[in-house]
């Protein structure tokens, strides 16, 4: 049995399925193997950024993923005021790797407030490994620390409970 060479889609013209709705424009493509590419860009813009930009899959024209860029950006890679994606950056960032200015939420994240597994928060950090002014986690470093193992000025952990740390964290309870 002789194998037939597969066609190089990068050299063929791409025929997207285009759809315009009252909210925005869809651009879709289904590869022969069933994988799909989708992109939605809203009509409404704020300061030149679409209100919503959503991407899924690899662009058949380039073979690469498109970075979702918008006020609300959703995709494997996303940049926006609110960014949601595997790798995301924004004022509010949610993702596996999230770089947030105000809030980072994800596996590895940063932000003024950060919540996740490996976190670096300017004011507050909570996660398995956390660093911040106030840090809560299994392993934590900060000025006020509540952890299994903590390092910092006022630490409440399994080894000791600094009175300042106890007062601080108890003051947060109702």
pLDDT in tens, 92-119: 999 999 999 999 999 999 999 999 999 9
Backbone angles phi, psi at 163, to 5 degrees: -55, -35
Least confident of 10-14, 38-42, 51-55, 140-144: 10-14
- Name the residue with tokens 């399925």: 17
Q: What is the pLDDT of residue 62?
A: 87
Distance CA 23, CA 165 (A): 51
pLDDT in tens, 117-126: 999 999 999 9
Mean pLDDT (the chain, rounded): 93
State mean pLDDT over 17-24: 94
Q: What is the pLDDT of residue 131?
A: 98
Band of residue 6 on the pLDDT scale cut at 50, 70, 90: very low
Burial class (CB in 10 A: 0-12, 13-18, 19+), 89: buried
The closest of 46, 93, 92, 86 to 67, measured between CA atoms, is 86
pLDDT at 38 over 70: yes
Can you read off the two tokens belonging to residue 35?
Answer: 């994988």
Distance CA 66, CA 75 (A): 8
State mean pLDDT over 88-95: 98
Question: What percent of the chain is modeled with pLDDT above 70?
Answer: 93
pLDDT at 1 over 70: no
Q: Where are the beta strands (DSSP E) in 31-133?
A: 36-42, 45-46, 49-50, 52-56, 68-74, 77-84, 87-131
Can you read off the two tokens belonging to residue 162?
Answer: 């600094």
pLDDT in tens, 42-80: 999 999 999 999 999 999 988 899 999 999 999 999 999
Distance CA 142, CA 155 (A): 8
- Long-range contacts of range 37-46, CB-CB < 8 Å, 24 or more positions apart? 39/66, 41/70, 42/70, 46/71
State mean pLDDT over 23-33: 93
Q: What is the pTM of this model?
A: 0.84
């Amino acid at each position: 049995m002789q194998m037939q060479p597969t066609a190089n889609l990068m050299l063929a013209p791409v025929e997207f399925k285009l759809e315009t709705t009252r909210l925005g424009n869809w651009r879709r493509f289904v590869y022969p193997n069933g994988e799909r590419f989708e992109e939605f860009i809203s009509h409404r813009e704020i300061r030149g950024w679409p209100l919503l930009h959503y991407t899924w899959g690899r662009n058949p024209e380039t073979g690469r993923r498109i970075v979702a860029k918008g006020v609300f950006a959703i995709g494997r890679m996303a940049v926006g005021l609110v960014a949601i994606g595997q790798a995301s950056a924004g004022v509010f960032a949610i993702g596996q790797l999230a770089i947030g200015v105000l809030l980072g939420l994800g596996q590895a994240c940063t932000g003024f407030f950060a919540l996740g597994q490996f976190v670096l928060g300017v004011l507050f950090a909570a996660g398995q490994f956390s660093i911040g002014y106030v840090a809560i986690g299994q392993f934590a470093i900060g000025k006020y620390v509540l952890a299994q193992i903590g390092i910092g000025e006022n630490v409440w952990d399994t080894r000791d409970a600094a009175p300042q740390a106890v007062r601080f964290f108890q003051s947060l309870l109702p």
